[in-house]
Copies of this chain bind each other. A is one copy, B any other.
Amino acid sequence: MFQTGIVMAHQNRDQEYLGKLQDYFSQYRNLPSYAVIGNLLGMASKSAVSALVKRLTLAGYIEMTPDKRLAPTKRFFERELADFPVPAGLPAAANDAMSESLTIDEYLIPRPSSTVLVKVKGDSMIEAGIHDGDIAIVEKRHAASLGDKVIAIVDGEYTLKTLAKDKQGFLLQPENADYAPIRPQEGLEIYGVMVGLIRKYR
């Protein structure tokens, strides 16, 4: 449905309603039942709420999960993304990069249960822009591709290196000319793959 400049009949109470739902969600992290929405918005009947929900669903703010429960969509959180305003003229706002995400967590971590954060020690990866004290976001899995930065288990020690391969087989390549590649004697065990990085400046 297009919202051109033309004003439609008695509409945009919906915007206000949406705002209240956003507030509610931000406080409780879920959407209430139709009845509760009703007296939250000052509606006396659930059919009014039902109609509202239909409108908001059509507008893309709300959706149904496979098991028919109300859930907010990404667009539902637009207001929060607008919390990072960008002055006119700033060439590249990261909102573009993250426009599909509500939070940094979600941007970086699609599978929470198999993701761990690991603090980086040492400077063996410094030429890849991975510094001592940075935090690596690691997705736990045993399969990796060449060129991936992986957490591997070598002699019972965990180490972060780039996965590489030559004629003799797989090897773990540091990103620092001062370090030598590691060639696992036996099988190479991969703990997880680094999918992101965060760093905090003090």
Give chain A's interface residues, CB within 8 Å of chain B: 18-20, 22-23, 26, 28-33, 36, 65-67, 69-73, 77, 79-87, 89-98, 103-121, 126, 129-131, 134-136, 138, 148-149, 151, 156-158, 191-192, 194-202
Q: Is the interface of A mostly helix, strand, loop or mixed?
A: mixed
Q: In the complex, what's the smallest C-beta–C-beta distance from A195 to chain B, in angstroms?
A: 5
Q: In the complex, what's the smallest C-beta–C-beta distance from A137 to chain B, in angstroms?
A: 8
What are 28 A-B contacts with C-beta separation under 8 Å?
A20-B113, A22-B113, A26-B112, A29-B71, A30-B69, A30-B70, A33-B69, A36-B67, A77-B105, A79-B112, A79-B115, A79-B117, A83-B112, A83-B118, A84-B118, A84-B158, A89-B156, A92-B119, A93-B117, A98-B117, A103-B105, A105-B105, A129-B131, A129-B199, A194-B201, A196-B198, A196-B199, A198-B198
